[in-house]
Structure 1
């Protein structure tokens, strides 16, 4: 992005580009996204887009890392004065489920990054990972006898995977916000109970 502060008009253009590009990348992926479609729908031009983001890859990076930041901030793993337990992990999984309903485009961005950039290993490079505080919380919960033993990263990965059972990238069934509330509540109950049982100590 340009070093100089954005004017209000520039900020509006910048946000339009982000909004349009999120839909474009979520639908078509990195290789399939087209800058021409983005600038047309955002009512701007290539020169402006490149001034903000440098390249198509730079634009995707802004969206992708912004989506990770959003999920971290909007759906944090609650850590208060008490050690984290299986109940806390279960509640976190349910809140992730709800976030996938609100913003299915964000999970699609992560999936495209997995498919096109990092087919193995961590989804992001070590320097970009945002899970250190979650791993510490799980480790503390294990030390307090509230979370089952095992590699904290593996436990976190399992909870996230369980939360994604009905996500937009599920190969079984993708839930949508348009479904009846009772369907979502039934899944929340099952998800919360399953994670609690899977993560409980002993």
Structure 2
């Protein structure tokens, strides 16, 4: 009995010394995939709320219910984690766009679906817009390090180019349309509205967050985009 008490006492003292030294207790992940996803989700929330500079690794680890040691094991450091969040965010929207299957639709309908999809995605994923603002403040410093971003976007532009080509063949769209300009039109109209809706609502005394206003602006994006490319 005395031996058991002594062993328990030594264990408590060891834990106390570790705590005093700032050493975190080791935790063994029983589900590495789930832990990885939890860290990524927690990091997305933290970077969205505080930007890169204000985000804290301690807060991310706590929200993911893990420790810094495990976080560094999976992602390396804060910069690598931030880049992983960026890549995951872009991968999410590009993968979602693939479900539209734009090249097998009528060209006009394809552009309409892309415009409305982008608008609704922005509405449902404010974290994506927040991350874009943060990374642009850094002049894409971290995004430039990615080995995957360029490939996923070249595929998207290639698909949009095919939609525009089919529209030209059918006599619906003008020739020589830059697919990037089409996407920038769609994204810019949605991004500006959502990024500035609170100030604009105050200035013009109109609730731009109201459901009717949100729906009307989506249709406006479609109209402007199609008007810019049709014959």
TM-score surpassing 0.5? yes
The count of aligned residue pairs is: 189
- Mapping for residues 170-181 of structure 1, pairs under 5 Å: 173=200, 179-181=209-211
| 1:147 counterpart residue number | 173
- Separation of aligned partners in 1, 2:145 and 2:189: 20
Instruction: List gaps (5 residues or longer) in structure 1.
Output: 1-5
Q: Cα gap change, 1:127/1:66 in structure 2, threshold over 3 Å: closer, same or farther?
A: closer
Paired residue secondary structure (1:43): coil
Residue 90 (structure 2) aligns with: 68
Which structure exhibits the higher relative contact order, with contacts defined as CA atoms closer than 8 Å and separated by 6 or more residues? Answer: 1
Distance 1:29 1:183, change over 3 A: same
Instruction: State the 1:53 CA deviation.
Output: 0.3
> Which 5+ residue runs of structure 2 have no aligned equivalent?
1-27, 202-208
**2:102 — aligned with what?**
79
Larger C-alpha radius of gyration, 1 or 2? 2
1:31 equivalent in alignment to 2:65: no
Please tell me whether residue 116 in structure 1 is matched to residue 138 in structure 2.
yes
In terms of fraction of residues, the more helix-rich structure is 2
Which residue of structure 1 aligns with residue 212 of structure 2?
182
TM-score (norm 1): 0.77
Post-superposition offset of 1:99? 0.9
What TM-score results when the alignment is normalised by the length of structure 2? 0.69
1:101-159 residue CA offsets vs partner (Å, 9 max, x unmatched):
1111022112212211427xx97868622222333334332452443333332332222
